[in-house]
Amino acid sequence: MGGLTIIVPVKAAVPNVTAVRLDPVTHNLVREGVPLMLNPYDRNALEFALRLKDKYGGKVITLSMAPPSGKDFLESTIGMGADEAYLVTDRAFAGADTLATSYTVARGIQRLFPNFDLIVFGEETTDSSTAHMPAQVASWLSLPYVYYAVDAEVKLEDRLIIVNRYLEDEGVYETYEYRMPIIISVYRNSNPPRDISLVRKVEAKLNGLVKSVDNNTLKLERECVGLRGSPTIVSKIEDAKPVERKKQIFKGDPREAAKWLLDSLTKEGVIKP
């Protein structure tokens, strides 16, 4: 097939709640009894990839390291327009932090799709917000990485990609040109995702378009994956206690109010004189 081969790693099941809970014993995220959803920022990344496919041809493949239940969420990525989806699932991968997860994803892509052109990530996940994965996968694969991407143009004959990114704090756009393959993460406020086609999602389920891959296929080192490969240790968790606040109200001229606020903050040691 001509055109681009684009891999979009997604997090298949993040809690669909405003506040997540941690197990007090294992310190792992509690997912049982919690409504789950596909990480919403990964849908922006998938839209980015689908727009490139619409313009230049090729195929878009989604991939997720998740328990078997992640299959349902990957079917929705096919409903949105992905051509194939792969569920990387194995008990050996359980309990992974971002380092072990990124290793599994990077090596999985390397072994399943050695001739890919682009890997496109969402900016971050809503349940952890570390934004580690794109940079870590880029490090494992020794590839260039561009973050906060909003759009791109491709010169297929030269295998070049021109990526535009937006720096929100500075309010400026930057342009980078690289030879593919590269890794991109998509600015979360860009590329509003298209609707999911129920017909395509049902076809994905009926035709088995989500393929499961375990470690018998990937043959990854056990010391590098799952809990064994995770140097992150949560030694203690506790609820944040509400901060007692001194309620004070100033009424009067705005200039005097500004001076009063500055004096009050200086007196409390919040700012230095």
DSSP the chain: --SEEEEEE----EE-SSS--B-TTT-PBP-TTS-EE--HHHHHHHHHHHHHHHHH-EEEEEEEE--TTHHHHHHHHHHHT-SEEEEE--GGGTT--HHHHHHHHHHHHHHH-TT-SEEEEES--TTT----HHHHHHHHHT--EEEEEEEEEEEGGGTEEEEEEEETTTTEEEEEEEESSEEEEE-TTSSPPPPPPHHHHHHHHHTT-EEEE-HHHH---GGGSTTTT---------PPPPPP-------S-HHHHHHHHHHHHHHTTSS--
Q: Please indicate, yes or no, if residue 233 is contained in any of the structural domains.
A: no
Q: Please indicate, yes or no, if residue 273 is contained in any of the structural domains.
A: no
Q: Please indicate, yes or no, if residue 237 is contained in any of the structural domains.
A: no
Q: Please indicate, yes or no, if residue 167 is contained in any of the structural domains.
A: yes
Q: Is the pLDDT of residue 200 over 70?
A: yes
Kindly report the CATH number assigned to the domain that includes residue 72: 3.40.50.620
Q: Is the pLDDT of residue 268 over 90?
A: no
Residue 182: other Cβ atoms inside 10 A: 20
Domain range enclosing 20: 4-224
Between 101-105, 134-138, 249-253, 269-273, the lowest mean confidence (pLDDT) is in: 269-273
Q: What are phi and psi of 67, to 5 degrees?
A: -65, 170
CB-CB contact of 154 with 177 (8 Å): no
Q: Please indicate, yes or no, if residue 89 is contained in any of the structural domains.
A: yes
Counting the structural domains of the chain, the total is 1
**pLDDT higher at 144 or 265:** 144
pLDDT, residue 210, reads 94
pLDDT, residue 126, reads 82
Pairing of strands 118-122, 84-88: unpaired
pTM for the model stands at 0.80
Residues 102 and 112: their CA atoms lie apart, in Å, by: 15
**pLDDT higher at 233 or 218:** 218
Q: Please indicate, yes or no, if residue 254 is contained in any of the structural domains.
A: no
Residues 65 and 229: their CA atoms lie apart, in Å, by: 15
Q: Which residues is 186 bridged to in the sheet?
A: 122, 149
Q: Please indicate, yes or no, if residue 24 is contained in any of the structural domains.
A: yes
CB-CB contact of 191 with 47 (8 Å): yes
Task: Please report, rounded to a whole number, the percentage of residues in the chain having pLDDT higher than 90.
Answer: 63
pLDDT, residue 25, reads 66
Q: Is the pLDDT of residue 17 over 60?
A: no
Q: Please indicate, yes or no, if residue 234 is contained in any of the structural domains.
A: no
